Amino acid sequence: MNPTTSANLYIGVDGGGTRTRATAMDENGNVLGSGVSSGSNPNNIGFSKAANSILDAIEGTQVSFNENTTLCLGIAGVASEEDREALRYELISAIPALESARLILTHDLAIAHHAAFQGAPGMILIGGTGSACYARDANGKSFRASGRNFHYDDPGSGYAIGRRAIDNKLLLSTDARESIAALAPRVIELASEGDLKALDILRIEAEHIAKLARLVFLEFSKSEPNPKLALSGGILKADTLYRASVIFELQRALPGIEIIDPQTTPERAAVELAKG
């Protein structure tokens, strides 16, 4: 990493199952650099490899840490204090200079929520390699649902779409979770061409991910009666047949819900959180 001045430096990282993205900015909001690497969910690859992916993305920004550096890392699969400490240990073991920096570790849902609502109440539905729905009210109370609530893996995610395509013999089998999730764009493409199996897969998974949102909504709406719902994640951001299917199912499950797009990227939102 290149040397940097002693001015305040802020680095935000969004770590998902497939990609890890980093952005570095100065105190005036100028972008100093950006980097991308492979996925960094420790549940998939372990904490050591997750730390390496995070540091590879930060390396791409071409900045160096100093005592005035603050990093905010929003990493999928980092849900507990034990997870945060395990990841912190691996990061500092790899780059001892990090010990002098301020390091904020949280989960990817928190920074995605900030990207959409800038601290205001709201719900966010994420569909990427995995899936989850997360909400936070005006008092800071959070609500969350994932595949664990339904006893199956990441409903409506890239992985779920790819897995169902393999099970239905639409596409050939693969082993790695990320490789299975990478089949989702092909399934969406086939559905757009009218393939009946692919269309059915998208319909089923759109229904499933809408159930995640409804589960959160039922609790969240007790304190926030008319919440907005943002869509985020690789397979929900793109203007595809699957996104349209998900919106249709959301409007059926949550009549009148206002669906929005995030105001910025999760990694830039992480920078904002680093600035405090």
14 SS3 class: strand
Band of residue 6 on the pLDDT scale cut at 50, 70, 90: low
Contact 251/229 with Cβ under 8 angstroms? Answer: no
Q: Write the pLDDT tens digit of every residue in 242-256.
A: 999 999 999 999 999
Q: Which pLDDT does position 246 carry in this prediction?
A: 98
> Taking the complete model, does pTM exceed 0.85, yes or no?
yes
d(CA 19, CA 57): 9
Q: Which two tokens stand for residue 201?
A: 């897969």
Domain boundary among 106, 140, 169: 106
Q: Which two tokens stand for residue 31?
A: 């972008």
150 Cα distance to chain centroid: 20
Q: Which pLDDT does position 145 carry in this prediction?
A: 93
Clarify whether residues 57 and 25 are in a common domain.
yes
Length of the chain: 276
Q: Which two tokens stand for residue 249?
A: 């199912």
Residue 2 lies in a domain: no
DSSP single-letter state for residue 264: S
Q: Which two tokens stand for residue 11?
A: 């680095």
Average confidence (pLDDT) over 83-87: 97
Decide if pLDDT at 2 tops 70: no
Cross-strand pairs, 224: none
Average confidence (pLDDT) over 253-275: 96
Lowest mean pLDDT across 5-19, 59-73, 136-150, 181-195: 136-150
Clarify whether residues 129 and 237 are in a common domain.
yes
Average confidence (pLDDT) over 64-75: 92
DSSP single-letter state for residue 98: G
9, 36, 86, 105, 131 from 80: Cα distances, Å: 27, 25, 10, 10, 18
Decide if pLDDT at 132 tops 70: yes
pLDDT over 70, % of the chain: 95
Q: Name the burial class of residue 81, with classes exposed (0-12), middle (13-18) and buried (19+) by CB atoms within 10 angstroms of its CB.
A: exposed
Residue 267 lies in a domain: no
Decide if pLDDT at 273 tops 70: yes
Decide if pLDDT at 148 tops 70: no
Decide if pLDDT at 152 tops 70: no
d(CA 22, CA 54): 8
Clarify whether residues 61 and 151 are in a common domain.
no
Residue 3 lies in a domain: no
Clarify whether residues 254 and 141 are in a common domain.
yes
The count of domains in the chain is 2
Q: Which pLDDT does position 67 carry in this prediction?
A: 85
d(CA 104, CA 106): 7
Contact 71/13 with Cβ under 8 angstroms? Answer: yes
d(CA 158, CA 107): 19
Q: Which domain holds residue 39?
A: 9-106
Residue 157 lies in a domain: yes
Q: Name the burial class of residue 268, with classes exposed (0-12), middle (13-18) and buried (19+) by CB atoms within 10 angstroms of its CB.
A: buried
Band of residue 7 on the pLDDT scale cut at 50, 70, 90: confident
Contact 106/87 with Cβ under 8 angstroms? Answer: no
d(CA 272, CA 274): 5
Decide if pLDDT at 39 tops 70: yes
Where residue 41 sits, what CATH number does that domain have? Answer: 3.30.420.40
Q: Write the pLDDT tens digit of every residue in 171-222.
A: 887 767 778 989 999 999 999 999 999 999 999 999 999 999 999 999 999 9
Q: Which pLDDT does position 3 carry in this prediction?
A: 43
Clarify whether residues 128 and 235 are in a common domain.
yes
Contact 157/131 with Cβ under 8 angstroms? Answer: yes
